């Protein structure tokens, strides 16, 4: 990592009430192939439990453990160095015709569980068909989603798809990402779902409680570019945790049994200087 950097403290804590031994997978550790650098990290469970770690099909780091009956606390805390500069500007990037796209990326142009690009295809072409292909078209999609979807917690659930978001015109950041991804795929632009930690650096403090953030990456030219329909601005300090077709591929926690979610706390801010 070259240039100026900022040290961020990122992490989260989850509380569960487990009524029978339950396997859970956890995705909260930053990936190793993004713009940040992991400086230090701690992981703990209360009570202490053994943990299996592996990388999933998309290269996301995953922890797997068996939660015992009773109260359980999961905690992850890390220091990451991030570039002190905004996301690279993809506005001028070109859109490749489908026949020139890398074959391994074509599945990112297809519908997925939450991104029903086939059902939104006519609407996508009606809204954006006259925009210049490439980064300008992706930005037009982000502008429309940002301007037409209202952000509000508690307005979606694990069954909410991009079609629901389009019809209801309300959602959280994952819903903004799902709708923008669907529009991009409908127009043959490879797009994938991304989530991670996002501090409020160089922007007004967000009045909404800190949570994990979701955005998207689109493939233009010869690389992936970051676009954020929820915030609709190039931001400083993204710490990427997971990538996939949509939120189903990169759930923070997936439980395989009777565990009741009690609470979640997330943090992402400039790290305090060491004494």
- Is the same domain home to 126 and 232? yes
Give the chain's domain count. 2
- For residue 242 the two structure tokens come to 């997971």
197 within some domain: yes
93 within some domain: no
- Is the same domain home to 103 and 238? yes
Instruction: Say if strands 170-171 and 150-151 run parallel, antiparallel, or are unpaired.
Output: parallel
Judge whether 109 and 190 are in contact, CB under 8 Å.
Answer: yes
57 within some domain: yes
- Is the same domain home to 108 and 229? yes
- Is the same domain home to 240 and 147? yes
- Is the same domain home to 16 and 133? no
pLDDT of residue 2: 56
Domain span holding position 127: 98-244
- Is the same domain home to 104 and 240? yes
134: domain CATH number is 3.10.620.30
24: domain CATH number is 2.60.40.2250
**Per-residue pLDDT tens over the stretch 136-165:** 999 999 999 999 999 998 899 989 999 999
Mean pLDDT (the chain, rounded): 94
**Per-residue pLDDT tens over the stretch 106-127:** 999 999 999 999 999 999 999 9
Helices (H) and strands (E) in the chain, counts: 4, 14
With a cut of 70, which residues of the chain have pLDDT below it? 1-2, 209, 273-275
* pTM as predicted: 0.94
pLDDT of residue 274: 47
pLDDT of residue 21: 95
Q: 250 has which bridge partners?
A: none
90 within some domain: no
């Amino acid at each position: 990592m070259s240039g100026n950097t900022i040290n961020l403290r990122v992490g989260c804590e989850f509380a569960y009430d487990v009524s029978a031994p339950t396997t859970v997978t956890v995705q909260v550790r930053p990936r190793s192939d993004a713009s940040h650098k992991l400086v230090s990290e701690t992981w703990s469970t209360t009570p202490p439990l053994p943990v299996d770690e592996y990388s999933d099909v998309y290269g996301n780091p995953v922890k797997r453990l068996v939660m015992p009956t009773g109260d359980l606390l999961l905690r992850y805390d890390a220091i990451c160095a991030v570039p002190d500069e905004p996301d690279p500007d993809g506005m001028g990037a070109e859109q490749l015709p489908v026949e020139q796209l890398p074959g391994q990326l074509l599945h990112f142009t297809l519908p997925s569980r939450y991104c029903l690009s086939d059902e939104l295809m006519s609407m996508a072409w009606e809204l954006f068909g006259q925009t210049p292909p490439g980064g300008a078209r992706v930005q037009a999609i982000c502008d429309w989603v940002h301007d037409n979807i209202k952000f509000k917690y508690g307005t979606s659930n694990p069954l909410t798809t991009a079609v629901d978001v389009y019809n209801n015109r309300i959602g959280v950041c994952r819903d903004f990402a799902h709708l923008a991804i669907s529009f991009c795929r409908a127009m043959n632009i490879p797009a994938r779902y991304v989530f991670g930690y996002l501090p409020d650096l160089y922007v007004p403090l967000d009045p909404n409680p800190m949570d994990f953030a979701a955005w998207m990456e689109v493939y233009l030219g010869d690389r992936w570019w970051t676009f954020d329909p929820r915030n609709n601005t190039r931001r400083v300090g993204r710490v990427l945790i997971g990538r996939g077709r949509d939120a189903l591929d990169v759930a923070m926690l997936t439980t395989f049994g009777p565990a009741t979610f009690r609470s979640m706390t997330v943090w992402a801010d400039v790290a305090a200087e060491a004494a």
